[in-house]
Chain A
Amino acid sequence: MLYRPKADTIRRRWQNNSHICFFTKPESNLCWVKCTKRIACNKQLHDLQHGQEGMLVWVLFLLCQGVAPALTQDLCQRDAPNGYKVRISLKTALGEDAYEWNQSEMFFFRATMAFAMRRHFQMETYNVDNIILCVQTSRVSFWFVVTSPDNATMLIPKADVEKAVRMARHRINNAFLLSDRTLEFLGIHPTLAAPVNPDTPPWLIVFGVVIGAVCAGIIALLVSSLLQKRRKEKGMTEDGQDEEDMQVKGVENGINLDGTYNRGFTDDDRFTKL
């Protein structure tokens, strides 16, 4: 089990005591202390400070130098064949609410990945130890590999890791308050959301409403103009009958005309004028 104490405490101690810090990767700024239990590690550090258990420390140191760093160096490296690069964009996703990416977050990430692996391979129990991170940059990006719980030197193949990540992607995103775009697993494409296909396209519904209203309007107008015409015709025939009656009775402008027809006022226009 790896115990990773707070970086600045070790650094301070490192400044005082040169043989406490073990580097697994010289270029990174972090120190790693290998020990069995956390409390023991503290005690160890304390003892180391006071020069006790120096031999044990040296043995461990040699071991670390010889074996473990080499191991992890082999397993997790840039462009590892079975590893994935993760890129996180906190400021883009959360803006001012962005939290700081520190060791705790890294631990959380390893725990989440272990959860994802457990979920996928339901028989095997993955632990935080099985997720190894390396090549961390200030972008924030890093590589990770997954070791098998039975054999710490064997890596889980890329395809299986991909399947596990795909299955738990939603949970992983939500754990970090991020999205597919801001928590990228380079090489694992996000699954596209299935489109929602309504039974009737919505435009047809609107079209139906509009056409129905327009047709109703046209029919109403045509019917009203037809009724108007009929009413006018009926009114005209009634008026026409009244007029005829009036003419027969010799009524003009409401005045009864009675009298003889004066031939003196007939038109002479039958004959052409001279």
Chain B
Amino acid sequence: MRLQLPNPGLEDRILSHEDLDKLETEEAGSGDRPKWDNKTQYMLTCVGFCVGLGNVWRFPYLCQSHGGGAFMIPFLILLVLEGVPLLHLEFAIGQRLRKGSLGVWSTIHPYLAGVGIASMFVSLMISLYYNTIMAWVMWYLFNSFQETLPWSQCPLNYNLTGLVSECEQSSPVDYFWYRETLNTTPDIGENGGLQWWMVLCLISAWAVLYICIIRGIETTGKAVYVTSTLPYVVLSIFLIRGLTLKGSLSGVVFLFTPDLTELTNPTTWLDAGAQVFYSFSIAFGGLISFSSYNSVHNNCEQDAVIISAVNGFTSVYAATVIYTIIGFRATERFDNCLGGNILTLLNTFDLPEGNVTENNYDQVLQSLNGTHPDIIQGLNLKTCDLNTFLSEGVEGTGLAFIVFTEAITKMPVSPVWSVLFFIMLFCLGLSSMFGNIEGVLVPLQDLGVFPKSWPKEATTGTTCVLCCIAGLIFVQGSGNYWLSLFDSFAGSIPLLIIAFCEMVGVVYLYGIDRFNEDIKFMIGHKPNLFWQITWRFVSPAIMFVIFVFYFITKVTETLLYKTWNPESENFPTLEEKPYPAWIYVIIFILAGIPSLAVPGTALYKCLRRKRDTKAEQQELKTVSNHIDVNDKAQDGKSHT
């Protein structure tokens, strides 16, 4: 016997298979719920949601830092065991129950409504800070339409005697990012006020998002033709450009050189699992919504496999492209370092040019060290090692806004490459935002927060305006620190809990037997043994293990954050500071509230139901009294 938790009343809450077929053929029913114009729109929207900024700036870093080519092994294994089953589950349940995330979980069991609410909360938090990243991308995009990119040189100081000292000590790209873009404060406590240029960019980001989601999937479906395909075009252009640059192949070789000893390190597997999980945008509720707009007999199994494959391929492709450019930058830095050393040697010993080249640098240095050791010591020559430059692995915003922008300034015709790169990042992020916002809007509609008389444009508009205002927190001076706080806590642990509850809810509360029957009805054949094993045992187990490790890691580590402090001793290295005490309250709100919403709502519903059943029982007594009276009247009538 399969394990199945008791779930009374399930039949009443869901549409039967016959009803679903009727819905398919009837014209009237479809007017209520939006529909995809064609399958391409649906696939592109899902691909766009899954393929996001993480594929470009998180995966390459993980790949390079966890043994290069060897990282593919845990990544692919966990993709197949964790990503594909979860994706198939969300698609199938959305298509079957034909509701958004809140509706689906309330339908499966009223106590599971908390999962829907937690999904909505997480999607909301992530939408807020994700669109701020879009605002940063837009700022860089707007600034790329200049002949000399503003981050390619340091500005002059006030008296025009020299360069600004903060810029001189660090680098033009660092200065442009930390000072001219973020205007960052040295501490999260100092908020530094709103940065007006960033407010404008934030408004423009939300405006562009609004125009794409103004009528729901009717407009989103058209927008994804551009936002989901353009990144691939740009990546290909960059690949061709990158391969023609000097040193690009050394970057790619470095990325993919396998170090199989990393496979024994549990962190590698953990990071691979987390990357697969977050990269698939599971537990946001958006995927369930999107697949609920499909026709009932859409082949969700095929879709899940295709989208997983596309996501995996995009990660590897983007990593290759990024590392050609990083290889070029590292080679450029190495050449500059070596060139600087050679020049110093030539100048100090007045040797003719061309005497010391890259090839004989070591020999010459050794011989000079033998003859004039004290002079050599006094020169403080830097050690130049290409591998050190290559392994300066950066991820996240640092990769996009510092490392990559620096590499772009060294390429000829820099503004063109800059514009292309930031348009690609913008499209990647915008298509992910569609899914995030869907995960917020549909539960809000289901909860009845907006009056029914309001048109769709008004509800999306109100949501965008409110989110824009809430997002002002991220465009202050300390906004960057708030963003990384939200990123670490709002988008990590709650998602793992939600995904675990989803699996358990569908497999054990909805019933794996019923689910298998549903899939057989929808696509024509029962899901095979692979799906059975992964849904019932393997994927929940992997979720649980990742969750436990993540929780332990986060709870035990001292929470530090990196700040840009021009007054610190090790400037330009980022200074690590501990969070102030009141941040822990914020962390609890971010991570705790969605996690606790799951049991909390269950408890609330349980208590309310107990109260309702008591009231029902009382009513029953009075109704039965009523029936007795009627019967007497009947007897009276029949006798006449």
Contacts and interface: CB of A to CB of B under 8 A. Distances in A.
A192 B630 contact: no
Interface in A193-221: 194-195, 202-207, 210-211, 214-215, 217-218, 221
B165 to A, nearest CB: 14
B347 A87 contact: yes
A203 B455 contact: no
B145 A206 contact: yes
B370 interface: no
A225 B354 CA distance: 72
A194 B204 contact: no
Contacts of B352: 138-140
A179 interface: no
A89 interface: yes
A139 B214 contact: no
A272 interface: yes
20 contacts: A87-B347, A139-B346, A139-B350, A141-B347, A192-B160, A192-B161, A194-B160, A195-B156, A202-B143, A203-B143, A206-B145, A207-B200, A207-B201, A210-B142, A210-B204, A210-B208, A211-B207, A214-B207, A214-B208, A225-B215
Given A214-B208, A217-B211, A138 B200 contact: no
Contacts of B49: none
Interface in A124-148: 137-141
B353 A91 contact: yes
Contacts of A87: 347
Contact of B457 (A204, A206, A210, A222): A222
Interface string A208-243: 001100110110011001000100000000000000
B634 interface: yes
A57 interface: no
Interface string A69-90: 0000000000000000001011
B481 interface: no
A202 B146 contact: yes
Given A192-B162, A202-B143, A207-B204, A218 B210 contact: yes
Interface in B340-399: 343, 346-347, 350-354
A23 B630 CA distance: 141
A139 B354 contact: no
A215 B630 CA distance: 66
A139 B142 contact: no
B600 interface: no
B379 to A, nearest CB: 16
B350 A207 contact: no
B139 interface: yes
Nearest to A193: B156
Interface centre among B353, B354, B455, B630, by most chain A C-beta atoms within 10 angstroms, is B353
B302 interface: no
B74 interface: no
A272 B630 contact: yes
B155 interface: yes
B236 interface: no
Contacts of B161: 192
Contacts of A218: 207, 210-211, 214
A207 B142 contact: yes
Contacts of B210: 218
A52 interface: no
Interface in B136-163: 138-139, 141-143, 145-146, 155-156, 160-163
Given A206-B145, A214-B207, 4 more contacts: A138-B351, A192-B160, A203-B143, A221-B211
Interface in A84-133: 87, 89-92
